[in-house]
Amino acid sequence: MRKNTLLFLIAGIILLLLFPVFLPRFYVYLLSIILLYGLLATSLNIVLGYGGIFQFHHAVFYGVGAYGTALMLTKTAMPAILAFIVGPLVASALGFILGIICIRLSKLYFGMLQISLGSLVWAIVYRWYSFTGGDDGIHGIPIPEMLSSYIGAYYYTLIITAVCIFLIFKIINSPFGSALQGIRDNPVRSEMIGINVKRHQILALTIAGFFAGVAGSLFVVVDNTVFPDMLFWTLSLEILIMCLLGGWFSFMGPMLGAGVIVALRTFVSTYTVYWALVLGVLMIFVIFFLPNGILGYFEERFKKVFMGSEIKE
């Protein structure tokens, strides 16, 4: 089984490396967007699927990371590498601050307060014309020459996404990740055995904010622009659906959900402007028919088949 998994992984990596060779420019751009959205959804799943924290406005960290990078590139003469670091760090700091404020509440109330504070950040970005460009956003962001082509942007996005996914995997499978999952399952018992619940949750929110900021920084490289809608709550809903659709208890589920949502949005938008309606119908379908997501469904089927074959033997 491990050999088969390794072969699939190697084949997938080879395909991802070769895609720009035989795919048109638009599809390479689309793959870049899928990769960074997959990272964004996976970062949300750190606190949602593994931490049990109802983070309903994750897009605010994605947008702040993008704006942090864009503002460094357009308003300072600092090296570009610093801009790509500052964006995620600012998003991480925001995750820490909002975590301290919101962590006093739990479950639905936590999510509602976070939506309110996140909307406040969006309103500041939307109205601060002299600094953020207001509702016009920032366009024509100068990108280093090596990353300015769509192929360079794709490979950069692929490498950074792969490194971040690996780091998230190591975090989830570390003692901290195990403690976080224990808090998700039973916070009272976790506290009784000596785990500092609030500290672990705030740290998880900070880490999730950082990786969401990385995704925002990648968007600047891929699209050379930022705009206030990147911080709006409707995007947070899309990210949430990516996790639920792919499988929020499966590590690669959010990545799969991001691919499905981005591809579906691109296809649907060519025929109708009512993407939000389609998204709502998709959400209802997931809740009723795929409560554990696509990967969760196939994992359950695989276990039934595998266990059935063992019983027969």
pLDDT tens digits, 222-233 = 999 999 999 998
Q: Tell me if 248 is assigned to some domain.
A: no
- Report the C-alpha gap between 94 and 235 in whole angstroms: 18
Is 284 a residue whose pLDDT tops 60? yes
- Residue 146 belongs to some domain of the structure: yes
| Whole-prediction pTM | 0.92
pLDDT of residue 304: 62
Query: Domain containing 54: what range?
Result: 26-232
Q: Is residue 53 part of a domain?
A: yes
Report the b/e string of 108-143 with b at 16+ CB within 10 A. Answer: eebbebbbebbbebbeebbeeeeebbeeebbeebeb
pLDDT of residue 242: 92
- Residue 64 to residue 220: CA distance in whole angstroms: 12
Residue 173 confidence (pLDDT): 92
Number of domain units in the chain:
1
Mean pLDDT of 275-301: 83
Mean pLDDT of the chain: 88
In a domain, 74, yes or no: yes
In a domain, 133, yes or no: yes
Whether 69 and 222 have beta carbons less than 8 Å apart is answered as no
User: pLDDT tens-digit profile of 237-265?
Assistant: 899 999 999 988 888 899 999 999 999 99
228 near 137, Cβ under 8 Å? yes
Asked whether residue 9 is assigned to any structural domain, the reply reads no
Residue 279 pLDDT class (50, 70, 90 cuts): confident
pLDDT of 103 reads: 87
Report in angstroms the alpha-carbon separations of 135 from 130, 139, 276: 11, 12, 21
Q: Residue 206: which residues within 8 A CB-CB, separation 6 or more?
A: 92, 93, 95, 96, 99
State the DSSP H helix or E strand holding residue 80, giving kind and residue range, or none if neither.
Answer: helix 80-102
Query: What pLDDT score was predicted for residue 303?
Result: 66
H-run or E-run covering 226:
strand 225-226
Instruction: Return the pLDDT at 269.
Output: 84
**Is residue 73 included in any domain, yes or no?**
yes
Does the pLDDT of residue 3 top 60, yes or no?
Answer: no
Rounded CA separation 137/125 (Å): 9
Q: What tens digit of pLDDT does each residue of 55-82 get? A: 889 999 999 999 999 999 999 888 889 9
Confirm whether 241 is domain-assigned.
no
How does pLDDT run across 120-131, given as a tens digit for each residue?
999 999 999 989
Start-to-end CA span in the chain (Å): 18
